[in-house]
Amino acid sequence: MAELVESARGKPPGTSFVNDPKVRSIVLQLLALIVVVVLGWMFVDNARENLAAQKIATGFGFLDNTAGFGISQTLVPYTETSTYGRAFIVGLLNTLLVAVVGIILATVIGFLVGVGRLSKNFVVRTLSATYVEVLRNLPPLFQILFWYLAVLSALPSPRQSISLFGEFFLSNRGIIVPRPLFGEGTALVLWTTGFAILATVLLSSWSSARREETGRGLPMGRIGAVILIGLPLAAMASTGFPITFESPELKGFNFVGGVRVIPEFVALTLALSTYTAAFIAENVRSGIQSVSHGQTEAAHSLGLRSGQTLRLVVIPQAMRVIIPPLTSQYLNLTKNSSLAVGIGYPDLVAVFAGTTLNQTGQAIEIIAVTMGVYLVLSIITSVIMNAYNRRVALVER
């Protein structure tokens, strides 16, 4: 009996330590750790040797050196004599510009197509389904090249450019739009606009709080319109309309005045937003379908109209399902903006991991920074979307 108790306390007879979960867990973790540490040490050691052998400098000192190359689209002042650090910022801003514009466009198109897929209208439904299937099943780089090489390069030269309202010009050099000129008093107009937006937001939140409490709110649609349009208009009138637009004009072979949106930007943004929109449309469709039909029927029987049902009952519930995958679509779009390098749009990868890397050869620092930027962008986007998700998530008892 005593022996039995003894053996039950120790390891059971006849089992190997190989099968002991505790031993296994420790050995496995130690092995994993050793492999990672040894690999890391080998990488560092090799890198040090290789860098020394190839006489490549290390550290981030190169960021202060003169870049010496031009960039076709710069949101902040940049010349060939600017530093690599400046080039990095220009590239980063260009990436962000594509990401933000692309996300807005993709969301709008995606919601329209997603609702269209559920439409009762046969033509709309079929067209939406075709859109989704075709765009989702073609590689994004293919689509970017298609827009760039087959659509935008095929536009006429500036001399024969297609004119819209005499103010916008489409040509193979990009889109020329009027340039806003800010005269005296612009600051006042901008401040008033900001104030109008703030006032509308505050008033509408107060109004909805009051409606929750008393059942009676303000007609916010009309009041908001009056504030948002009236106040800035009044400010503009009182300062004598300081913001004017300089129309582009064709002089010789090119345009003078106006702002040129480079074709690379147009191709990239169009391709990415239409591509991502196909995925967003599917998310929207599945979100709306996840709201059971009983909700719609209940809303109708309460006397809500179709529009109200959609706005107040279906969409708030669908949003819970839509938001998480929407977040990853936004992240995908941001990451896919790196495909810019395929058509020469000066985004972060093209400017920094491309030209700067070729000129300085400091691969480790540059690629680490580039990857780091995308990691940070991913984290920021998901933090914002998670916060929004928490707001719309179902609060359970």
Partner 1 sequence: MTFAIDDHTFVRQELHTPLPPPRRNIGVLGWMRENLFSSILNTLLTLFGLLLVVLILPPLVRFLILDAVWTGDNREACLAPGTGACWPFVKAKFGQFIYGFYPIDQRWRVNIVFALGAALLVPLLIPSIGQKRLNALLFFGAYPIVAFILLTGGNIDASAFLFQHFGLFSGLAGASVAGVKLAFWLDFLLTAGLVTGLGAVIGAALGDARGVARIVASVFLGLGIITLLWDIDFGLQPVETRQWGGLLVTLVIGVTGIVTSLPLGILLALGRRSKMPIVRLLCIIFIEFWRGVPLITVLFFATYMLPLFLPAGANPDGLLRALVGVALFTAAYMAEVVRGGLQAIPKGQYEGAMAMGLTWSQMMRLIILPQALTLVIPGIVNSFISLFKDTTLVLIVSIFDFLGQLRAAFTDPNWASPVTLYTGFAFAGIVYFIFCFGMSRYSMFVERRLNTSHRH
**Positions in the binding site for partner 1 (CB under 8 A):** 16-19, 21, 23, 25, 28-29, 32-33, 36, 42-43, 46-47, 49-51, 53, 119-124, 127, 133-134, 136-142, 145-146, 149-150, 335-336, 338-339, 341-342, 349, 353, 357, 363-364, 367, 370-371, 374-375, 378-379
Nearer to partner 1, 176 or 339 (CB): 339
Comparing CB distances to partner 1, the nearer of 120 and 222 is 120
Taking the complex as a whole, the smallest distance from the CB of residue 176 to partner 1 amounts, in Å, to: 24
111 vs 255 by CB, closer to partner 1: 111
Contacts of 204 (CB under 8 A, 6+ apart): 220, 224
What is the smallest separation between the CB atom of 177 and partner 1, expressed in angstroms? Answer: 25
Tell me the closest approach of the beta carbon of residue 33 to partner 1, in angstroms.
6
Q: How far is the CB of 377 from partner 1 (least distance, A)?
A: 8
Q: Which residue has the tokens 């050691």?
A: 45
Q: Is 380 exposed, middle or buried (0-12, 13-18, 19+ CB in 10 A)?
A: exposed
Kindly state the smallest distance separating residue 29's Cβ from partner 1, in Å.
4
Instruction: Identify the bridge partners of residue 360 per DSSP, sorted by sequence position.
Output: none
Closest to partner 1 by CB, 67 vs 353, is 353
Residues paired with 92 in a beta bridge: none
Q: How far is the CB of 22 from partner 1 (least distance, A)?
A: 11
Which of 259, 239, 244 is CA-nearest to residue 187? 239
Closest approach, Cβ 246 to partner 1, in A, equals: 34
At closest approach, how far in Å is the CB of 228 from partner 1? 26
The residue type found at 386 is N
Q: Shortest Cβ distance from residue 111 to partner 1 (Å)?
A: 15
Nearer to partner 1, 39 or 181 (CB): 39
What does DSSP say about strands 259-261 and 174-177: parallel, antiparallel, or unpaired?
antiparallel
Decide whether 192 or 336 has the Cβ nearer to partner 1: 336
Distance of CA 377 to the CA centre of its chain: 9
* Closer by beta carbon to partner 1, 129 or else 228: 129
CB nearer partner 1, residue 49 or residue 246: 49
Nearer to partner 1, 23 or 234 (CB): 23
